[in-house]
Amino acid sequence: MGKSSIGVYGMGVMGQSLALNMMNHGYQVSVFNIDYDVTEKFVQTKALGKSVQPCKELKEFTDSLEKPRRVFLMVTAGKVTDLVIDQLKECLEEGDIIIDGGNSYFKDTIRRFKELREYGLHFIGTGVSGGEKGALEGPSMMPSGDPEAYQYVEQIFTDISAKAKDGAPCCAYIGGDGSGHYVKMVHNGIEYADIQIICEAYDLMRNGAGFSIEEIQQVFEQWNQGRLKSYLIEITSKILKKKDEETGKYLVDVIQDKAGQKGTGKWTSMEGLDIGAAIPTIAESVFSRYISAQKEERVRASLELTVNLSAEVTDKEEFVRDLEAAVYAAKICCYAQGFELLKKAAAEYGWVLDFGQIAMIWREGCIIRADFLEDIKAAYDQGEVSNLMLTSKFKKELLDAQKSWRRIVCHIVNSGIYAPALTSTLNYFDGYRCERTSANLTQAQRDFFGAHTYERTDREGIFHTIWEEE
């Protein structure tokens, strides 16, 4: 067997699928996993008969690769990635390329990029989205690093990535050092918000309007035929059909209401705070996972903090129409928040980001894939975008959704359903379009207690007032 085109390190869920995807595109792939039994099982089952070179030792793995060597890491993000890079460094030569496809924190990627450059190695931090199936059939890929090194991986990446309806690959070079992982992080932040909005719509129908699971399932199926058509809406309609084999109940009804998380939504929210981008829908989605995790406390509080509320839904069809408009409007705002964060990040970290192109590579392969991304791309094609909410199509749609969205938020408040994304996003919208907020009083208070000064509306300058005499 000759040398392999690329090596995949990490035979977990994603690593196996990506390696198979590469083989299915005609590449010979060397595979390595810390526990060789996993590699062996993979090669004897899923990769049987394919162009694969299983390696037991790390040196054997790196020696099996064409030069410059391309090593694709698909391992647990964080310390494990550093550990693996340290081991690999010893087995690689100047000019070789390490690709990190994990969900790494972008600041770690920036650090690793610099450290490895000093070592004579190239580092390509690559956001990969699509889960196990996407990795196998075509993920959305967000690579960044040296353009010089990218040319050595571009063909493989283009081949294995998802293809949009127009045939374009859902992979594009994003920019320098950690920009690819940054874009993936924002993708995940939007993913959190999109998921949260959908879950709130489900909860409102289920617990705020008395819909049966069958009725809710049909609503999502119907929404997936319209402007909300997306992977997340589609899987929701599939999830709501699934029965539990043991109890015969709908599976969704027997799943505990405690959401997990691996940290990318939190990083996105922290970035919003760090660089001054208001992304409340994303942050609320992270907080809602924290609240969900406090199950025992919530159960206790539900017995103590009882509130008598009543909110009736008399016309279910009208309610669903309103809810669709509210979900769609909140979705526009949460994507606007994500792209606003990307705009601020480009300025903060000195990256030249092509926002239209980012929308393009999210059209297929990734978790937030949706036809809606075509509209975002079209908005960026029309010229300078200060905010997606101000572009003609989205502006009209946001304004058209107003009455429905506000009726839904009133229903949320009156029924006492926890729906922070739908409600706070409307508040965000109102804040963004507010000509004069209450920050004048904030400034007065800050100046009163801390002599922090303020600006005036009627003349230039910085002012301080002695608010009360001693």
Ligand X SMILES: O=C(CO)[C@H](O)[C@H](O)COP(=O)(O)O
Ligand Y SMILES: NC(=O)C1=CN([C@@H]2O[C@H](COP(=O)(O)OP(=O)(O)OC[C@H]3O[C@@H](n4cnc5c(N)ncnc54)[C@H](OP(=O)(O)O)[C@@H]3O)[C@@H](O)[C@H]2O)C=CC1
Enzyme catalytic residues:
184, 191
Nearer to ligand X, 188 or 423 (CB): 188
- 175 contact, one of ligand X, ligand Y, none, CB 5-8 Å limit per kind: none
**Any long-range contacts for 315-321 (C-beta under 8 Å, 24+ apart)?**
316/209, 316/211, 316/215, 319/205, 319/209, 319/411, 320/205, 320/219, 321/404
Among 367, 373, 389, 408, binds ligand X (CB under 6 A): 367
Tell the burial category of 437 from Cβ atoms under 10 Å away from its Cβ (0-12, 13-18, 19+). exposed
- 78 contact, one of ligand Y, ligand X, none, CB 5-8 Å limit per kind: none
Site for ligand Y contains 21 (CB under 6 A):
no
**How many helices and strands (H and E) does the chain possess?**
21, 7
Could you tell me the strand order of the sheet in which 122-129 lies?
A: 52-54, 29-32, 6-9, 70-73, 97-100, 122-129, 140-144
Site for ligand Y contains 12 (CB under 6 A):
yes
Tell the burial category of 397 from Cβ atoms under 10 Å away from its Cβ (0-12, 13-18, 19+). middle
Site for ligand X contains 30 (CB under 6 A):
no
Binding positions for ligand X, 316-345, rule CB under 6 A: none
Site for ligand Y contains 80 (CB under 6 A):
yes
- 186 contact, one of ligand Y, ligand X, none, CB 5-8 Å limit per kind: none
Among 34, 239, 311, 390, binds ligand Y (CB under 6 A): 34
Nearer to ligand Y, 22 or 77 (CB): 77
The answer to whether 98 touches 116, Cβ cutoff 8 Å, is yes
Nearer to ligand Y, 14 or 205 (CB): 14
Q: Is 187 flagged in the annotation as binding?
A: yes
Among 5, 21, 109, 129, binds ligand Y (CB under 6 A): 129
> What distance in Å separates the CA atoms of residue 389 and residue 431, rounded to the nearest whole number?
13
- 191 contact, one of ligand X, ligand Y, none, CB 5-8 Å limit per kind: ligand X
- 261 contact, one of ligand X, ligand Y, none, CB 5-8 Å limit per kind: ligand X
The phi, psi pair for 404, rounded to 5°, reads -65, -50
Site for ligand Y contains 293 (CB under 6 A):
no
Tokens of 61: 């793995």
> What distance in Å separates the CA atoms of residue 198 and residue 196, rounded to the nearest whole number?
5
Site for ligand Y contains 103 (CB under 6 A):
yes
Q: How far is the CB of 261 from ligand X (least distance, A)?
A: 4
Q: How far is the CB of 112 from ligand Y (least distance, A)?
A: 13
Angle 99-101-107 from CA coordinates, rounded to 5°: 85
Site for ligand Y contains 10 (CB under 6 A):
yes
Among 20, 65, 71, 75, binds ligand Y (CB under 6 A): 75
Q: Is 129 flagged in the annotation as binding?
A: yes
Binding positions for ligand X, 125-164, rule CB under 6 A: 129, 131
DSSP 185-246: HHHHHHHHHHHHHHHHHHHHHHHSS---HHHHHHHHHHHTTTTT-BHHHHHHHHHTTPBPTT
Among 21, 30, 53, 188, binds ligand X (CB under 6 A): 188
Count of C-beta atoms within a 10 Å radius of residue 272: 23
Q: Is 130 flagged in the annotation as binding?
A: yes
Site for ligand Y contains 136 (CB under 6 A):
no
> What distance in Å separates the CA atoms of residue 52 and residue 29, rounded to the nearest whole number?
5
Task: Give the count of alpha carbons within 13 A of 124, CB side only.
Answer: 31
Site for ligand X contains 81 (CB under 6 A):
no
The answer to whether 194 touches 273, Cβ cutoff 8 Å, is no
- 176 contact, one of ligand Y, ligand X, none, CB 5-8 Å limit per kind: none
Between helices 372-381 and 392-415, what is the axis angle to 10°? 140
Site for ligand X contains 268 (CB under 6 A):
no
Q: How far is the CB of 292 from ligand X (least distance, A)?
A: 12
Q: Which stretch binds ligand X (CB under 6 A): 108-116, 160-168, 260-268, 329-337?
A: 260-268
Q: Where are the alpha helices (DSSP H) in 90-153?
A: 106-118, 131-137, 147-150
* Beta carbons within 8 Å of 397's beta carbon, 6+ residues apart: 328, 329, 332
Q: Is 411 flagged in the annotation as binding?
A: no
Nearer to ligand Y, 187 or 377 (CB): 187
- 97 contact, one of ligand Y, ligand X, none, CB 5-8 Å limit per kind: none
Known binding residues are 103, 129-131, 187-188, 192, 262, 289, 446, 452
Interacting residues toward ligand X by CB under 6 A: 103, 129, 131, 188, 191, 261-262, 264-265, 367
Interacting residues toward ligand Y by CB under 6 A: 10-15, 33-35, 38, 74-77, 80, 83-84, 102-103, 128-129, 131, 262
